[in-house]
Amino acid sequence: MSAEASPKRPIYLDHQATTPLDPRVLEAMLPWWTDDFGNSASNTHVYGWRAEAAVEEARERIAAVLGAESREIFFTSGATESNNLAILGVAESGRSTGRHIVTVETEHPAVLDPCRSLGNRGWEVTSLPVSSDGLIEPDQLSSCLRKDTVLVSVMAANNEIGVLQPIQTLASISREHGVLFHSDAAQAAGRVEIDVGGDTIDLLSLSGHKLYGPKGIGVLFVRQRRPRVRLTPRQFGGGHEGGLRAGTVPVPLVVGLARALELCVEERERESARLIVLRDRLYRRIRDSIPSVRLNGHPGQRLPGNLNLTFEDVDGAQLLLALNGLAVSSGSACASAKSEPSHVLRAIGLSENQAQASLRFGLGRSTTAEEIERAAEIVIGAVGRVGTPSDP
Ligand X SMILES: Cc1ncc(COP(=O)(O)O)c(C=O)c1O
229 binds ligand X (CB under 6 A): no
- Which of 19/353 has CB closer to ligand X? 19
Measured at CB, which residue is nearest to ligand X?
78
85 binds ligand X (CB under 6 A): no
Q: What is the dihedral of CA 45, 48, 49, 54, to 10 degrees?
A: 160
Residue list 168-197, contact with ligand X (CB under 6 A): 184, 186-187
Report the nearest approach of ligand X to the CB of residue 388 (Å). Answer: 31
218 binds ligand X (CB under 6 A): yes
Residue 144 falls in the annotated catalytic set: no
Q: Binder to ligand X among 84, 103, 165, 207 (CB under 6 A)?
A: 207
Report the nearest approach of ligand X to the CB of residue 289 (Å). Answer: 30
* Alpha carbons 369 and 390: distance in angstroms, whole number: 36
Residue list 305-344, contact with ligand X (CB under 6 A): none
For 298, what's the count of Cα atoms within 13 Å in the CB-facing half-sphere? Answer: 17
Give the H/E segment covering residue 76.
strand 73-76
Mapping DSSP onto H, E and C, the string for 326-363 reads: EECECCCHHHHHHCCCCHHHHHCCCCHHHHHCEEEEEC
Residue list 136-165, contact with ligand X (CB under 6 A): 155, 159
- Piece of the chain touching ligand X by CB under 6 A; list 75-83, 264-272, 337-345, 370-378: 75-83
Q: In angstroms, what CA-CA distances link 220 with 36, 113, 203, 292?
A: 25, 18, 7, 42
Residue 163's DSSP bridge partners are: 302
- Which of 308/353 has CB closer to ligand X? 308
240 binds ligand X (CB under 6 A): no
Q: How many residues bind ligand X (CB under 6 A)?
A: 12
Closest Cα partner for 69 from 81, 78, 56, 82? 56
Beta carbons of 204 and 185 less than 8 angstroms apart:
yes
List residues binding ligand X (CB under 6 A): 78-80, 108, 110, 155, 159, 184, 186-187, 207, 218
